[in-house]
Structure 1
Amino acid sequence: MKLQHLFLIIHTILLIIVAYLVNDYVPDPYMDEIFHISQAKQYCNGNYFDWNPKLTTPPGLYIISNLILKPLSFLPIRHLCSTNFLRATNVLFGIGLYLILWKLTIKLHSSQDRDLLSFNTFTLSIFPVGWFYNFLYYTDSGSTFFVLWSYLLSIEERYWLSGLVGGISVLFRQTNIVWVCFILGTSMLTLLSSGNKGSNIRGKKMIYYRGINVRLNIAIQEINSFLALAAKNFLRLLIILFSYFLILLSFIIFLKWNGGIVLGDKSNHVAVLHIPQIFYFISFTTIFSIPITLKVEHFERLLNGILKPRFNRKSLYLFIIAIIMIFVIYTFTYEHPFLLSDNRHYTFYIWKDIYRRHYLIKYLLIPAYLIGGWILLESIALRQSFLWVLIYIIAVCLSLIPSPLLEFRYFIIPYYIFRLHIGQPNGLRLFLEFLIYAIINVKTEHLFLEKPFIWFSEIHKWQSLITERYTWQEYQLLLAQVSAFPVKIKIDSSLGKAGLEVKLLMFDAGYLSCYHSVTTSQH
């Protein structure tokens, strides 16, 4: 048996086991599942025009679930559209994602050892933030699957099908239109490059510059050359890449019809200029890719810079960039009300315990952003052309900056694309990455399943209690403002949570935090 098939079997078994545990511990719809599952059931019942105004994303997930479950209606299953079966849709996406990651890895790193690439694929398939949402009825697994599938098809130069699959990804999340544009841009680069012999492109084809130190005049020359060649071959590109342009045109019509990108609850999803999102993404990507991207020479250069500071042109550039970053952080940092209204999510604690610890913290992190950004840029620029990196950076900015909310889920697709395009690591580095991912996944699932806590479903009805759990997601629920006072309540065993203690206390004016301790293994 080939190693990639063995890893696929292991991956599938792990998905099934964790899905079983999640369904056993959390049998009812949880958090946003309440809205997604109720809407999916409407589709199962044939009510395709009933829409919950609380939903902000298109119906792609419900359509796919319906297409999968409807053919099974002949089976003697009483509740085919139950929570368990609907969640199974994302388990299937998780299996499919492994296959897509494998093919992408082989395409992008064909000269590497196959066994090492198999292990690399398995490691990527358990990337913690993406892995977690394979077990809840959310849009993330399907969104990631269809975007990466579309990208794979473009690399295989099956552009028509790639555009159509990209269109399906937009039905899962509107912002995926940015990644459709990214795929369109990289496809144009492929067609206009000197290495492509079958595209019938007129004029001198481009040879792209690679490296970290691209001079400004070279950068401008490359951009001008690309635009001129694209304009000269516009009709040919339009025919070859027509499906992408069709998706873009359809999306523009949707924007005009809908009056904006957000469906449903527009008031809490107003686009803003949230530039620090890029700094958060740099931090996120640097941390998760440290085993692969961090090298000894990074420490050597950092030490030399500290011990033997030299003031040259690079120092001046860094100083100017740092000044710009200070201005950006001061002017464009946006603290969404949802971020500090819900203590069930890791971003809540990151923001409360780091960024809100002192008002200077967000500025003191600038050197870390600069170092992380340099490491990431160096890692990808040594393998990809300047124009490819530029298109990627533009796509990351367009997908993240308009969002007012810090959400790790929004980083999944750009992280995967980054990780796929950097050099493949040796066995030791890859094993370290796998170990980190595995530990995070075990800890996350254990915390989610075994450490529930009690929330008051309504602030003014203390007797009304609901069980909550920790997740990666920032749930869209704003608690009412309450006066600052501590409350300690002991819940008796009749509620099914023996030994559970709830403490409510204020950590900041206007927001409520809930701390807990659970001494029972009941679920």
Structure 2
Amino acid sequence: MNSAKPESGLVLAARYAVPFVLLAIPFWMSQVSAVVPDPYLDEAFHVPQAQAYWHHKWTHWDPKLTTPPALYLWSYVICAITLFLRGSPTELSPEALRATNVGAAAVFLPWRLQTLLDTIRKERNNRPSGAWLSHTVLNICLFPPLFFFSGLYYTDVLALLVVIEAYNWDLKRTGPLTPVPSRTVIFFIVSLVALVTRTLGRNAKPCRSTKFADIFRGGLENEVYDPLVSEASIEDYFKTAISLGAAVLGNLGQIIVSLMPYLAILAAFGGFVLWNNGVVLGHKEFHTAGIHLSQMLYIWPYFVFFSWPLLAVPVANLVLPRSMLPKSLDYGFPDKQKGLPRILTVVAVVPLMLIIVHFNTIVHPFTLADNRHYVFYVFRILRSHPAIIYAATAVYFFCSWAVISAFGFSTASSSPQLISVPRTEQSPAGKGVKEASKLKKEAKSTASSKKPDQAPKPQPMSREAFEKIKEALSQRQRQQAGTSRVSFVLVWLAATALSLITAPLVEPRYFIIPWVIWRLHLPRQPTPQIYREKRSSNEKASLDAKIATNLPLFLESFWFLVINVVTGYVFLYKGFEWPQEPGKTQRFMW
């Protein structure tokens, strides 16, 4: 944890600008309600159900609804409090219900995201780093699919808020877990694996061996192999999985005890699935769970499309030689981190992707029938020629490599250097010093002669020992910068896969939670090496370093705002009609 430092005017301005930018969310909702006052698309199911609850018709349920009633209960509580304080609303219009979603998106979600980031980073938002934390929270709230549905009465904002709150409770361990909606319950299930990982990590020793057999034996003896992402190869992911599995076997009693409070919730959910004959509540014929592995291919271009401001320069640092990088963009990544994916990685992953594309490309009838969604046009491109879906595999692979590598995009401060102090010639002015030194040595010699055991003289540090210390300091700095370990990536991938591959539909909304968790765990933006080496107290040089470091964050904000303005304008003012529904405006949306 860093020591507190005085905050500059720039830092304070960046932090206090956050709530003002978040006013874009209620502004967006007001524009939607002005142009589209009636329920639109899925709102036609959500709004009447919330209104039924408002009139205390608790047994009423629309069989077309697929999710639990958390959204409607949330709206009931918020509107009841507002009615008590202000005397309105007495009836729940679509605008009033949308406003409850705005409250979740613009007030509660930023607050809980901030709390979660403080816990993950182990630092409070009361220092210069607080501006970076707040800016990260702001960009998450501006994430286009999330921002878009914050102005409509959809379940996505509240679903994310519940997952974030469950994550907060889990990390702080101060109370019971909050039950999550059915569409995101897989993240809770896999969070048990994360809990197991943390339980093992608290008492485990690092495993130094890199051999599979030694890693397995070490896991049984409470030694965990879990390198940083920035230092890991594809083999390390398999080794970490083996190590964690062996460690669970070696600590089975402790693991079971730590999971006991969670198993009751998991058992309750299992009982619900058996009673309901499925996860979703309604429209089961269109939401039948299956195996849709291609979802884990589509997610990577999705991440890169939205997050290229954070990925572009670090990826260029990995694939380009330093001679081709401007000094202001050179992060000084270590040589072992640089380079394109290894041939072994390509051979292991690309054929698997091709098999998934060939045997498990599923196009839901809704996807091809509804031209109001952007995914409709993406699949029009993918299906325009039989070879395109296979050629897209190269895009999936490169994007997945960039996204997972981003967990290790961090830089350490300038490493210490081993220097030699030259001996100086004796000068007349130094004779007194020499005499004093001589007397001091004689006194020490006399004192030591009275002792039976003389302490060994310190030896100069070898270069090998110095390099080990240097590497240890560098690794510690990367950990403090927020670089994730392989075990976290494995848990995140498992949670993402299990939550997506059961969904037959491809919708950008389904990728919101995986993206947010990924974004929360990204390290701080790297600082170009030229600024790390200067260590100048000059105000201008310090400002240049801050600008160079935080430019990707501001570019991400700008990119999100551009997308939100364009998609919002298209939704509001570029409506069209279907021939089969004349006079009814259809609107483009995520």
Q: Distance in 1 between matches of 2:341 and 2:129?
A: 41
Query: Could you say which residue in structure 2 is the equivalent of 1:27?
Result: 37
Structure 2, unpaired ranges of 5+: 1-8, 206-219, 325-339, 410-482, 526-548
8 Å Cα contact 2:98-2:151 kept in structure 1:
yes
Q: Distance in 2 between matches of 1:292 and 1:234?
A: 37
Query: Could you say which residue in structure 2 is the equivalent of 1:89?
Result: 100
1:86 positional shift = 0.8
Aligned-residue RMSD, C-alpha: 2.7
Query: Could you say which residue in structure 2 is the equivalent of 1:417?
Result: 517
Query: Could you say which residue in structure 2 is the equivalent of 1:114?
Result: 130
Query: Could you say which residue in structure 1 is the equivalent of 2:110?
Result: 98
Query: Could you say which residue in structure 2 is the equivalent of 1:271?
Result: 289
Correspondence 1:258 to 2:276 = yes
Query: CA deviation digits over 1:156-189, x for unaligned, max 9?
Result: 233x33x1x2x0x32xxx1211111233322332
Query: Could you say which residue in structure 1 is the equivalent of 2:395?
Result: 368
8 Å Cα contact 2:104-2:158 kept in structure 1:
yes
Query: Could you say which residue in structure 2 is the equivalent of 1:132?
Result: 148
Larger Cα Rg: Structure 1 or Structure 2? 2
1:235 positional shift = 4.3
Query: CA deviation digits over 1:269-328, x for unaligned, max 9?
Result: 112211111110011112222221232234428x99xxxxxxx99425413432222221
Query: Could you say which residue in structure 1 is the equivalent of 2:502?
Result: 402
Q: Distance in 1 between matches of 2:568 and 2:354?
A: 37
Correspondence 1:437 to 2:560 = yes
Correspondence 1:356 to 2:345 = no
SS in structure 2 at match of 1:335: coil
SS in structure 1 at match of 2:291: coil
Query: Could you say which residue in structure 2 is the equivalent of 1:489?
Result: none
Which deviates more from structure 2 when the two are superposed, residues 54-63 or residues 4-13? 4-13
Query: Could you say which residue in structure 2 is the equivalent of 1:226?
Result: 247
Query: Could you say which residue in structure 2 is the equivalent of 1:315?
Result: 343
Query: Could you say which residue in structure 1 is the equivalent of 2:363?
Result: 335
Query: Could you say which residue in structure 2 is the equivalent of 1:466?
Result: 584
Q: Distance in 1 between matches of 2:281 and 2:300?
A: 29
More helix per residue: 1 or 2? Answer: 2
1:121 positional shift = 1.8
Q: TM-score, normalised by structure 1?
A: 0.79
1:219 positional shift = 2.7
Relative to structure 1, is the Cα distance of residues 132 and 89 closer, same or farther in structure 2, using a 3 angstrom cutoff?
same
Query: Could you say which residue in structure 2 is the equivalent of 1:77?
Result: 88
Q: Distance in 1 between matches of 2:500 and 2:13?
A: 37
Q: Distance in 2 between matches of 1:299 and 1:381?
A: 15
Query: CA deviation digits over 1:335-385, x for unaligned, max 9?
Result: 101001111111111111x21221111111111111111111222257222
Relative to structure 1, is the Cα distance of residues 149 and 76 closer, same or farther in structure 2, using a 3 angstrom cutoff?
closer
8 Å Cα contact 1:105-1:117 kept in structure 2:
yes
> Counterparts of 1:299-314 in structure 2 under 5 Å?
299-300=319-320, 314=342
Length, aligned pairs only: 443
8 Å Cα contact 2:234-2:345 kept in structure 1:
no
Query: Could you say which residue in structure 1 is the equivalent of 2:189?
Result: 181
Query: Could you say which residue in structure 2 is the equivalent of 1:495?
Result: none
8 Å Cα contact 1:335-1:405 kept in structure 2:
yes
Q: Distance in 2 between matches of 1:24 and 1:313?
A: 50
Relative to structure 1, is the Cα distance of residues 206 and 324 closer, same or farther in structure 2, using a 3 angstrom cutoff?
closer
Q: Distance in 1 between matches of 2:253 and 2:225?
A: 17
8 Å Cα contact 1:230-1:237 kept in structure 2:
no
Q: Distance in 2 between matches of 1:14 and 1:347?
A: 25
Q: Distance in 1 between matches of 2:299 and 2:165?
A: 23
Relative to structure 1, is the Cα distance of residues 322 and 12 closer, same or farther in structure 2, using a 3 angstrom cutoff?
closer
Q: Distance in 2 between matches of 1:203 and 1:318?
A: 34
- More RCO (CA 8 Å, sep 6+): 2
1:72 positional shift = 3.7
SS in structure 1 at match of 2:202: coil
1:204 positional shift = 4.4
8 Å Cα contact 1:190-1:196 kept in structure 2:
no
Query: Could you say which residue in structure 2 is the equivalent of 1:454?
Result: 577
Q: TM-score, normalised by structure 2?
A: 0.70
Q: Distance in 2 between matches of 1:279 and 1:108?
A: 28
Query: Could you say which residue in structure 2 is the equivalent of 1:482?
Result: none
8 Å Cα contact 1:222-1:387 kept in structure 2:
no
Query: CA deviation digits over 1:221-255, x for unaligned, max 9?
Result: 4123331254130343035xx0x322211110101
Relative to structure 1, is the Cα distance of residues 52 and 208 closer, same or farther in structure 2, using a 3 angstrom cutoff?
same
Q: Distance in 2 between matches of 1:391 and 1:333?
A: 25
| Residue number among 141, 155, 177 corresponding to 2:157 in the alignment | 141
Correspondence 1:393 to 2:493 = yes
Which deviates more from structure 2 when the two are superposed, residues 83-92 or residues 406-415? 83-92
SS in structure 1 at match of 2:585: strand
1:427 positional shift = 0.6
Query: Could you say which residue in structure 2 is the equivalent of 1:481?
Result: none
Q: Distance in 2 between matches of 1:317 and 1:327?
A: 16
Which deviates more from structure 2 when the two are superposed, residues 414-423 or residues 290-299? 290-299
1:143 positional shift = 0.2
8 Å Cα contact 2:222-2:247 kept in structure 1:
no
Q: Distance in 1 between matches of 2:21 and 2:108?
A: 11
Relative to structure 1, is the Cα distance of residues 330 and 10 closer, same or farther in structure 2, using a 3 angstrom cutoff?
same
Relative to structure 1, is the Cα distance of residues 221 and 343 closer, same or farther in structure 2, using a 3 angstrom cutoff?
closer
Relative to structure 1, is the Cα distance of residues 183 and 17 closer, same or farther in structure 2, using a 3 angstrom cutoff?
same
Correspondence 1:15 to 2:25 = yes
Query: Could you say which residue in structure 2 is the equivalent of 1:37?
Result: 47
1:41 positional shift = 0.8
SS in structure 1 at match of 2:588: coil
Q: What is the identity, as a one-letter code, of the residue corresponding to 1:51?
A: W
